[in-house]
Amino acid sequence: MKRAAVLVCAAIAAAACGSGGGSSPTTPTAAPTPAPQAARSALSVTVTPNPVIATPSTDASFPWVASFTVAVRETAGLACNMNRVNATIVGGASAIEWGVNEIQSRTTGRTNYIAANGSLDIPNIGFTYRGAFGARSLAFTVIVEAIDARGATVTASTSVQALREGEPARMP
């Protein structure tokens, strides 16, 4: 009986040592921890082209039309939904004010959603205007607003210049 117990213990010990095939035990590694999510979204906005080249319009009251694309990028790693795009003429009134429906109708995929670290292009934005007192150029600001995945309102803006077709670019 003693002999059988010794043989069982020897068999267990031999099995624990492995088969001698050269593989050594590995140390377990911890699973990677995901990066912490941002406290709120952050946006950057660009307008192309900038400067915008205004072309003649068919409206005699507002003889120039400025057309451009607004690109919005989320840079903090937290998704958001665009809810407003505004272009305001410097020293003047709002030229355009678009809400969710207008944004969705212009974008590829008809969406206003920006994924974390993603972007959204809003093409074919335009407005007509007349130059005050014979001004050859027009300065305006594009402002975008979104609601992020945590419910915070985030905004970004950029300054843009519109030049009449055929006019050289000038420093504002």
The pTM score is 0.72
The candidate with the shortest Cα–Cα distance to 158, out of 84, 48, 67, is 48
> What does the pLDDT read at residue 169?
61
Phi first, then psi, for residue 108 (nearest 5°) are -65, 130
Per-residue pLDDT of the chain (172 residues), as tens digits, is 555 444 444 444 444 455 555 555 667 666 676 666 789 999 999 999 999 999 998 998 888 889 999 999 999 999 999 999 999 888 777 778 888 999 889 888 899 999 999 999 999 898 888 876 566 688 999 999 999 999 999 999 999 999 987 766 654 4
> What does the pLDDT read at residue 133?
58
Query: For residue 99, what are the CA distances in angstroms to 74, 81, 95, 130, 133?
Result: 18, 11, 14, 24, 32
Tokens 């959204």, residue located: 120
Q: For residues 35 and 117, what is the distance between their CA atoms, to the nearest angstrom?
A: 13
Q: For residues 68 and 103, what is the distance between their CA atoms, to the nearest angstrom?
A: 14
Q: For residues 149 and 39, what is the distance between their CA atoms, to the nearest angstrom?
A: 10
Which H or E element spans position 170? none
> What does the pLDDT read at residue 130?
81
> What does the pLDDT read at residue 7?
44
Which H or E element spans position 84? strand 80-89
> What does the pLDDT read at residue 38?
84
Q: Are 31 and 142 in contact (CB under 8 A)?
A: no
| DSSP per position, 95-151 | EEEE-HHHHHHHSTTS--EE-TT-EEEEEEEEEEE--GGG-SEEEEEEEEEEEETTS
What architecture does CATH give domain 43-164? Sandwich (2.60)
> What does the pLDDT read at residue 62?
87
